[in-house]
Chain A
Amino acid sequence: MAPPLARFTFGERTIAIDVPHLAFATAIAGWCIWFCQDAWRAQRDVENLIMILPASVLAVILYVFVAAGCVRIVRSPEHDAAAPRQPLGPGMAGKIAGTMALLSAYVIAAPLIGFDVVSFVYILTMLWFLGERRIVVLLLGPALFCTIAIYCFDTILATPLPLLFFSGDAS
């Protein structure tokens, strides 16, 4: 079943709002407005604003249409206003949030600690998080990946990866 919309009553009229979608659209439009204002502040001339200004105005106009689509009038109390999207499967919200959080942690920790160690820990944690319980796979998989990937990027491609243990010439 689709997730229900938040309902708000004003006098005799009840409206249903798709709050998560409205928040997302507002965030996009807000960024567009901020970006335009930042560009305006940086340099107020045609060369700088030739595309940014008209595109930002267009973004705001489009946002009004999108935002209007997020609001519905509930004609009767029995009327079931649901969000126009499928709900996530059981446990999926947690898995997706966890994957996003682990990816963010990986990106933040890698330059601070080193890609070699953090990549190993990230893959091991992800494997465990996604249901892998075989110890051999949990240890060998990340170790094999890290050895090959770090060797290729650090030694062959001379990428200046921050590394803790395997720091080669490039790092």
Chain B
Amino acid sequence: MIDLAALAAAVHLLGSSWQPWMVVVPGILIGLIVHAVPGLTTSMALAICLPLIPYMDFLQALIFMTAMYAGALFGVAIPAILLNVPGSAAAVGTTFDGFPMAQAGRHNEALGLALAASCAGQAIAYLLLLCFAEPIAAFAIRLGPPEMLVVALWGMTLIARLRGRHLARGLLAGVFGLLLGTVGLSVRGAARGTFGFDLLLDGIPIVPAIVGLFAAAELFNLVGHDYIVDDLTNRRVDAGRILAGMRDTFRYPGTLLRGALLGSSIGILPGGHAIANLLSYSEAQRAAKDPEKFGTGDPRGIIAAESANASSEGGSMATLLALGIPTGGATAVMLVAFGMHNITGGPAFMRDHTDLVYAVILSSLAQVGILAVVGFGFIFVAGFVVKVRLRMLVPIVLALAVIGSFALAQNMAGPITLAVFAVIGWLMQRFDYPVAAVVVGLLLGRLTEGALLRTYQMSGGEIGFMATRPIALGMLVLFAVSVALPYLRPARPRVAASG
């Protein structure tokens, strides 16, 4: 599987000059800082840095961009945990247990858990990529809408898991989210639910909607409080407790590994990185013996979400390097950087520049260690957010969210969406609807509709079509087993007893 000669050449490439390594720390820091602002995205950070790319050699440019990507993938967890602000769709799952831990004064541990899970997830994904780059690429090219549909349906089961105390309210929230996700132009150009506003033709801006539903709604509830953490003694930023959180991550190797494998596999699909964290969270909850603890500040929730989010980078990189296909905004910008050096990703690139591909993978593995150190320092500083009085924090975060939403949408659709969804989110909390279910629906709405429609068009309405898609069938079986397993589990002792 590994071309040893190319691997040796890659080691030589990386070891012969210090220059490629000079960009790692700045890259990671840019990624971390950008995601401290609600509404800013990895692709935006990468795009801003594009003018620097022609001044770097190709390897250095790739290392710079992967470092930024790695920093950003962990960076989104910081506001998600401290402020309940998922900086992107990839951090939604992290808020479920991260913010409750922060509110309980366990923000140090939560940030440590997220950092270690992110580093471990990335390491596993890149090790997989190193060993199986070509098989992964061959697998990726066989995936299409039916497979994506199965993944989307799998993700949708999370709605039922997030139902809260009232099943009907939870499901209604999820369906409401699904429909919101389909607002805008249909594939055949029909405008749906836009109220005649051109700004909504591209659909509801997802990140401002998520920030509004989660963060702004939560901040409304916090206006009467002094600090995020009420207890003064729990407000400390403690390096020892961050390290304890990092150590705790490895107490749940199953959750970590499952998250990393799910993230790596789903990351190869277009848009997959956005739902990898949700799917992993859902599976971790499903597999747990005490699923009711999820959502109340359970470390496993953070590990599952973060390991999948981080490892999705490896999957995305596999598709980018081996097929030249971007799976999201960030990898699309990377492809532009390829073009600046007159290089086209794809099978020919893999064949002719295997040493470069290995060099990128090896440097990314090294970046994991650097991220652990830089990220530790960064969260030590970011953790001081809990010491800021809420009367100062609330207006600043809301103003940043509004400006960030504008930057993201490049028009007023972002801020308006944020304000409208903030009110909806607060009302949903008030009437005991699970806000997270709306977000899952919102994320999956357009994805599911597109996959469903393309599958329908490919199959011509014939259900037997699925039999010609062995990967989709295999995924369906896994999906069915995963859904059925919690119901079968309590029966085991009885079977054993009767046997």
Contact = CB atoms under 8 A, between A and B. Distances in A.
Contacts of A2: none
B394 interface: yes
Interface string B396-413: 101110110011001010
Nearest to A22: B431
B288 interface: no
Contacts of B166: 66, 69
Nearest to A92: B224
A69 B168 contact: yes
B175 A58 contact: yes
Given A39-B190, A48-B192, A104 B402 contact: no
Contact of B395 (A63, A69, A122, A160): A122
A34 B180 CA distance: 12
A153 B407 contact: yes
Interface stretch (B79-87, B447-455, B475-483): B447-455
Contact of A161 (B187, B221, B406, B457): B406
Interface in A75-113: 84-85, 89, 91-92, 95-96, 99-100, 103-104, 106-107, 110-111
A132 B224 contact: no
Contacts of A91: 224
Interface string B161-192: 00000101101100110110011001110111
Given A28-B176, A59-B172, A69-B168, A51 B396 contact: no
Contact of B179 (A56, A69, A127): A56
Contacts of A47: 186-188, 453, 457
Q: Interface SS of chain B: helix, strand, loop or mixed? A: helix
Contacts of A35: 179, 183, 192-193
A66 B431 CA distance: 11
Interface of A: 20-21, 24-25, 28-29, 31-32, 34-36, 38-39, 42-43, 45-48, 50-52, 55-56, 58-59, 62-63, 65-66, 69, 84-85, 89, 91-92, 95-96, 99-100, 103-104, 106-107, 110-111, 115, 119, 122-123, 126-127, 130-132, 137, 141, 145, 149, 153, 156-157, 159-161
Interface of B: 40, 44, 48, 166, 168-169, 171-172, 175-176, 178-179, 182-183, 186-188, 190-193, 216, 219-221, 223-224, 390-392, 394-396, 398-400, 402-403, 406-407, 410, 412, 415-416, 418-419, 422-423, 426-427, 430-432, 445, 448-449, 452-453, 456-457
Q: What are the 10 tightest A-B residue pairs by CB atom distance, in nearest-first order?
A: A126-B395, A130-B391, A43-B190, A42-B190, A65-B168, A62-B172, A159-B407, A39-B192, A51-B449, A35-B193
